[in-house]
Amino acid sequence: MTATGGRDTRPEMALRRALHRLGLRYRVHRPVPGAPRRSVDIAFGPAKVAVLVHGCYWHGCPDHARPSATNPGYWGPKIAANKARDADTERLLRAAGWLVLPVWEHEDPDAAASRIAAAVRARRASARER
């Protein structure tokens, strides 16, 4: 997550529990290669699958983020900066060979966990073939 979103947020914990129920094991808050002050919320090491959990408001979710009516001059640029940093984090991870799966706060944790589990299984299968 980010400095603004904090660690171990509620949507992140719900997703971690759902992944655990599917029998998946992972590391949390793994440093981003090339940006050690940022971290991957949920990382599947050998498969190189990185899950980034984004809060709808702070990360500018296309469905839920709304410009602040009270103070757009402050909040707009802050959210834009978060989005730019998210994009940069994804770029760094992809450059290091990771598959990046962003998950929005509003997504159903079980549905997101199923999507992640399928990606992890596919990456493990292709690693075995090499």
Positions touching Zn ion (CB under 5 A) are: 56, 61, 63-64, 104, 106
C-alpha R_g of the chain: 15
Which residue, 24 or 61, has its beta carbon nearer to Zn ion?
A: 61
Q: How far is the CB of 107 from Zn ion (least distance, A)?
A: 8
| Cα–Cα dist 56/4, whole Å | 12
Which residue, 32 or 61, has its beta carbon nearer to Zn ion?
A: 61
Q: How far is the CB of 98 from Zn ion (least distance, A)?
A: 23
Q: How far is the CB of 12 from Zn ion (least distance, A)?
A: 14
Residue given tokens 């598959």 in the structure block = 99
Which residue, 15 or 24, has its beta carbon nearer to Zn ion?
A: 15
For residue 42, list its beta bridge partners: 28, 51
| Cα–Cα dist 39/25, whole Å | 17
Q: How far is the CB of 122 from Zn ion (least distance, A)?
A: 26
| Cα–Cα dist 106/9, whole Å | 13
Which residue, 24 or 86, has its beta carbon nearer to Zn ion?
A: 86
Phi then psi for residue 96, to 5 deg, are: -90, 10
